[in-house]
Amino acid sequence: MKVLVPVKRVVDYNVKVRVKSDGSGVDIANVKMSMNPFDEIAVEEAVRLKEKGVATEVIAVSCGVQQCQETLRTAMAIGADRAILVQTDEELQPLAVAKLLKALVDKEQPGLVILGKQAIDDDCNQTAQMLAALADLPQATFASKIEVADGKAKVTREVDGGLETLEVALPAVVSADLRLNEPRYVTLPNIMKAKKKPLETLKPEDLGVDVKPRLKTLKVSEPPKRGAGVKVPDVATLVQKLKNEAKVI
């Protein structure tokens, strides 16, 4: 069984994000980029399925600029067998990514697609659901545990009220939540091995997909700075400030 794992190149989660002076977007010039943390969890889970003998091949996929090759090499260092880059300089939105992944699903015929539940840059949480709809596959989102056996995947997912367990027939789409696993530390020998693993580069036109943006970002702004707190001598003063100054009661 093949496992397809889409990964996204995003601003590293340790970096403080800066907004461009014109408010047109986020400044990524000279900023450290890395794999989306939720996608890293998805790669780890796919590799663990391979180590258990459930999966035979793990294929990492990324859509975006040429530098996404670094993200794919990281995925292969974790344990993916090969990688595919759909290279484009166009701004990719969730629907376009889902269409590209659907074309790759048709091409590769994986038994399971595991991807992060959302990217930490746009927080859309849409790609997995859109892919499942376009490819007409069953889906299980926010997975905290995955068990694959007898052509089915049993997925424990996190919901507001606790945990929910679903069983989906394969092939299926599963999105990974934070508590699914803890990704392994990538060792130097594995980084060197990853350089020799095959990486195929395609264009959106090769897959017959139009990736033209359908949404336009009007403005990006930083959250307002929080005002300094004040100490009050008694409850009466607190109530008076909440009522007259903060106007919350």
Could you tell me the pLDDT band of residue 99, with boundaries at 50, 70 and 90? Answer: very high
Quick check: 111 pLDDT over 90?
yes
Are 206 and 63 spatial neighbours (Cβ–Cβ below 8 Å)? Answer: no
- Three-class secondary structure of residue 146 per DSSP: strand
Return the domain boundaries, the chain.
2-224
168-182 residue pLDDT tens: 999 999 999 999 999
Q: What does the pLDDT read at residue 18? A: 87
Q: What is the mean pLDDT of residues 93-120?
A: 95
Q: What does the pLDDT read at residue 43? A: 97
Question: Token pair of 1, please?
Answer: 């069984």
H-only helix segments in the chain: 37-51, 68-78, 94-108, 127-135, 188-194, 235-244
Residue 183: name the closest of 69, 43, 63 by CA: 43
**Cα-trace Rg, the chain:** 21
How many other C-beta atoms lie within 10 A of the C-beta of residue 119? 22
Quick check: 224 pLDDT over 90?
no
* Total residues belonging to the chain: 249
11-26 residue pLDDT tens: 999 988 888 888 888 8
**What separation in angstroms does the CA of 188 have from each of 80, 195, 197?**
15, 11, 15
Q: What does the pLDDT read at residue 182? A: 95
Question: Token pair of 34, please?
Answer: 């890395």
Q: What does the pLDDT read at residue 226? A: 81
Could you tell me the pLDDT band of residue 230, with boundaries at 50, 70 and 90? Answer: confident
For 2-224, CATH gives: 3.40.50.620
Phi, psi of 21 (to 5 degrees): -60, -30
Q: Which amino acid is it at 64?
A: G
Q: What does the pLDDT read at residue 119? A: 94
